[in-house]
Amino acid sequence: MSEKKTTHFGFEQVEVDKKAERVADVFHSVAGKYDLMNDLMSGGVHRLWKRYTIEKSAVRTGHKVLDIAGGTGDLSYQFAQKVGPEGLVVLADINASMLNVGRDRLTDRGVAGNLTCAQADAQYLPFPDNTFDCITIAFGLRNVTDKDLALAAMLRVLKPSGRLLILEFSKPANPLLEKAYDTYSFSLLPLMGKLITNDADSYRYLAESIRMHPDQKTLQGMMDNAGFVMTEFQNMTGGIVALHMGVKP
Amino acid sequence: MADPTAITAVLTALEKAAAKALEYDPGTRAQLAKLAGQTLLLDCTQPAQKIYLQFTASGIALSGHYEGELAATLSGSGTDIAKLLFADQHSLYGSGVSISGNAGVLAQLQGLMGQLDIDWELALADIIGTLPAHALAQSVRGAGRWGRERAQSAERLIREYLAEESGAVLGRSEFATFVADIDDTRFAVDRLGARIARLQAHNDHKDH
């Protein structure tokens, strides 16, 4: 009898083909109040992290941008303003509930003409080779089952000299900050999740998945291995979050 | 490199403040739209920070990172650049700031800053309502007028005390009399000098 391959789902080990399903359940559960929770959990700082990501993307008029795990669409909205009517933004998310919230919100904000939505798995991106000038994935990579496969897919659909930006929780540089952050993540975060969405487990998973995500140097190495060049990362808020950047040669 | 979260927070706050100010000054906003599409780099040496001012049709966007074309770059300390943009420093000479690129953009921006005329009463009305805002604005204007009058009166009283009571300095009329006396004396000395010269010339003529 062959042993099934496993991967982590937070601190729990699950069969590889079950992780996507479990992650999907988490995001189906939190989709409706995802932005509100983000604001509460980060004290609004997630907006600054995303703003900096947009600055570093250097996206301009006419560019094609893929916003993977774009969820509720806050990055896509800004990109749609920057690329103008000649450009294109694709809001992609594997989770239908998150994508629905994002699409409705962007429609309500009057974004039309230069934006499309796609329910897509980051590991198997349904786009032709060399399509996008820029790809962003904000707080999504840690939920992907096979990150190497996803990085290879992103490299494939980027145009040569196109830019990948990965915004993700990471490892705090200061041990004291790390201790405080741990206390916050494992005690306060699930409590807030319970109070606001009546779902402590989903927020416990979010905290655990952050700890299981590769640290700054490891992720940079994975990008190098995937074939990206000029890879670098920038710590933000003491390393609680890091922005990784790489270019397709 | 500094943590980008802090500088992004500061720039976001400044951008929002500028947007709010322009909301209540449509004249400046319309003028600013003429700079749309241009980007000015403020390259601060102290503190070391680059700030990009991107002019758009609807206002100004601030960022710490930009990779497009620049209209002009201002380099200098933060204080010197702020003085040049917001205070009475109108010339680059002696300002401690250097410029490269199109200096016309800076001149336009300085002109706009000088004309900034924010309708604070309207801004207040959006928060507390028209009537309370008008009443409050009237009180503030009244207090401002009273303050100016008191300041002028204090200046006059101090001047009178110094000149008349303490005698520490000369009064305006005494000073004018003193200057007139000096002028009279100078003219008298000049006339006397001329007479002596004439007499000397007369004596020299008789000796020959």
Residue B32 C-alpha from the chain's centroid:
20
Distance CA B178, CA B189 (A): 16
| Interface pTM, i.e. ipTM | 0.78
Residue A249, classed as helix, strand or coil, is: coil
Higher pLDDT residue, B107 or A231? A231
pLDDT, position A143: 85
> How many beta-carbon pairs under 8 angstroms link A with B?
35
Is pLDDT at A63 greater than 90 in this prediction?
yes
Q: What is the mean pLDDT of residues A121-136?
A: 96
Q: Report the gap between the CA of B3 and the closest CA in chain A (Å).
A: 6
> Do the chains contact at A238 and B66, CB–CB below 8 Å?
no
A51 touches chain B (CB under 8 A): yes
Higher pLDDT residue, A33 or A97? A97
C-alpha to C-alpha distances, A201 to A69, B65, B102, nearest whole angstrom: 21, 38, 58
Of A48, A56, A60, the CB nearest to B5: A48
Higher pLDDT residue, B45 or A29? B45
Angle subtended by helix axes A74-83 and A45-57, to nearest 10: 30
Interface with B, mutate which of A46, A53, A55 (most B CBs under 10 A): A55
Distance CA B139, CA B132 (A): 11
Closest-CA residue of chain A to B4: A236
Provide, rounded to the nearest whole percent, the portion of chain B with pLDDT above 70.
96
Least confident of B24-28, B40-44, B53-57: B24-28
Residue A235, classed as helix, strand or coil, is: strand
pLDDT, position B95: 79
Distance CA A79, CA A243 (A): 17
Domains recognised in chain A with CATH numbers: 33-171+218-247 (3.40.50.150)
Angle subtended by helix axes A200-212 and A16-30, to nearest 10: 130
Closest-CA residue of chain B to A81: B56
C-alpha to C-alpha distances, A143 to A48, A166, A197, nearest whole angstrom: 22, 13, 20
Please tell me what DSSP assigns to residue A23. H
Is pLDDT at A1 greater than 50 in this prediction?
no
Is pLDDT at A22 greater than 90 in this prediction?
no
> Do the chains contact at A55 and B1, CB–CB below 8 Å?
no
As a whole number of Å, the end-to-end CA separation of chain B is: 95
Interface with B, mutate which of A52, A59, A83, A167 (most B CBs under 10 A): A52
Which tokens is B130 given? 């028209």
pLDDT tens digits, residue range A81-110? 999 999 999 999 988 888 988 999 999 999
> Do the chains contact at A234 and B68, CB–CB below 8 Å?
no
Which tokens is A231 given? 């890879």
pLDDT, position B90: 65
Which tokens is A153 given? 């897919």
Q: Which amino acid is at A227?
A: G
Q: Report the gap between the CA of A187 and the closest CA in chain B (Å).
A: 25
Higher pLDDT residue, A238 or A183? A238
- Contacts for B125 with CB less than 8 Å, ≥ 6 apart: B133, B134
pLDDT confidence band for A61 (50 / 70 / 90): very high
> Do the chains contact at A49 and B63, CB–CB below 8 Å?
no
Which tokens is B173 given? 């009329």
pLDDT tens digits, residue range B146-192? 888 888 888 888 888 887 777 777 777 888 898 999 999 999 999 99
pLDDT, position B87: 67
Higher pLDDT residue, B121 or A92? A92
pLDDT, position A155: 97
Average pLDDT, chain A: 87
Q: What is the mean pLDDT of residues A142-152?
A: 92
Is pLDDT at A29 greater than 70 in this prediction?
no
Of B3, B12, B66, the CB nearest to A51: B12
Residue A112, classed as helix, strand or coil, is: coil
Provide, rounded to the nearest whole percent, the portion of chain B with pLDDT above 90.
22
pLDDT confidence band for B108 (50 / 70 / 90): confident
B39-45 and B72-76 as β-strands: parallel, antiparallel, unpaired? parallel
Phi and psi (nearest 5°) for A87? -95, -175
Provide, rounded to the nearest whole percent, the portion of chain A with pLDDT above 90.
54
pLDDT confidence band for A54 (50 / 70 / 90): very high
Distance CA B163, CA A188 (A): 72
Q: Report the gap between the CA of B162 and the closest CA in chain A (Å).
A: 58
Q: What is the mean pLDDT of residues A134-142?
A: 93
pLDDT confidence band for B57 (50 / 70 / 90): confident
pLDDT, position B173: 81
Of B8, B66, B67, the CB nearest to A48: B8
3-state SS string for chain B: CCCHHHHHHHHHHHHHHHHHHHHCCHHHHHHHHHHCCCEEEEEEECCEEEEEEEEECCEEEEECCCCCCCCEEEEECHHHHHHHHHCCCCCCCCCCCEEEECHHHHHHHHHHHHHCCCCHHHHHHHHHCHHHHHHHHHHHHHHHHHHHHHHHHHHHHHHHHHHHHCCCCCCHHHHHHHHHHHHHHHHHHHHHHHHHHHHHHHHHHHHC
Is pLDDT at B116 greater than 80 in this prediction?
no
> Do the chains contact at B5 and A58, CB–CB below 8 Å?
no
pLDDT tens digits, residue range A174-214? 888 888 888 887 777 778 777 777 777 777 777 778 888 89
Distance CA A72, CA A138 (A): 11
* Of A199, A203, A137, the residue nearest A167 (C-alpha): A137
> B9 to chain A: which residues are within 8 Å by CB?
45, 48
> Do the chains contact at A52 and B68, CB–CB below 8 Å?
no
Distance CA A73, CA A93 (A): 10
> Do the chains contact at A48 and B63, CB–CB below 8 Å?
no
